[in-house]
A and B are shown apart, each in its own frame.
Chain A
Amino acid sequence: DTGVSQDPRHKITKRGQNVTFRCDPISEHNRLYWYRQTLGQGPEFLTYFQNEAQLEKSRLLSDRFSAERPKGSFSTLEIQRTEQGDSAMYLCASSPSGTAGRNEKLFFGSGTQLSVL
């Protein structure tokens, strides 16, 4: 399968614990995005990387959240001191440089479902 891969698919944790999710984009896609979907809402933008550079970060992303893409390939999203409000589906998406601009199409992974007890 050459699609966007996310790991784990599900994560249950206790409040106050740290969690880390991984996203492997489609090979050679230089842009990578993280979105979060809570119950009853559409996905919300969290952050965006072009290669290894984090170019934009939503105000939704508190200082407990950090994302990295160290070599411009896979990315990790870490949440420290999780809270019940962090329970959500965390989606990763990537897009190739060839579709820059208005016609850019995002390829999504199937997400990591986080439950904070």
Chain B
Amino acid sequence: ILNVEQSPQSLHVQEGDSTNFTCSFPSSNFYALHWYRWETAKSPEALFVMTLNGDEKKKGRISATLNTKEGYSYLYIKGSQPEDSATYLCAFRGYGGATNKLIFGTGTLLAVQP
């Protein structure tokens, strides 16, 4: 059974704080790792698709790193704003018959207080 774990489960920060979340995934048969942001009542929105060990991606104040050998990815938000409040989901795609589907973690719920 492929397991994707995210921590923490939830996080409350003040506006301006920087924060980071962790996604752990199987270190074998790695194909790709996705990060999504899901705001309440909206669609999950793709932030990053990461495919190579050592990948670092950045989108505005949000960045992500990838370590496929040890099976983890970090998502960083610099200077959190209230509009960053959302659930952040990571999802793993593996080889061997699982490449058509994403295996999601349970998400990290971020609340940014003004």
Contact = CB atoms under 8 A, between A and B. Distances in A.
B104 A103 contact: no
Chain A: interface secondary structure?
Answer: loop
Interface in A11-45: 33, 35, 40-45
A114 interface: no
A91 interface: yes
B28 to A, nearest CB: 16
A108 B44 contact: yes
Interface residues of B, number: 24
Nearest to A103: B49
A58 B97 CA distance: 12
A42 B100 contact: no
B102 A106 contact: yes
A42 B107 contact: yes
11 contacts: A40-B106, A42-B104, A43-B44, A43-B104, A44-B104, A45-B102, A58-B101, A102-B31, A104-B49, A108-B44, A109-B43
Contacts of A41: 106
B26 interface: no
B105 interface: yes
A92 to B, nearest CB: 10
B51 A102 contact: yes
A104 to B, nearest CB: 7
Contact of B42 (A45, A55, A110): A110
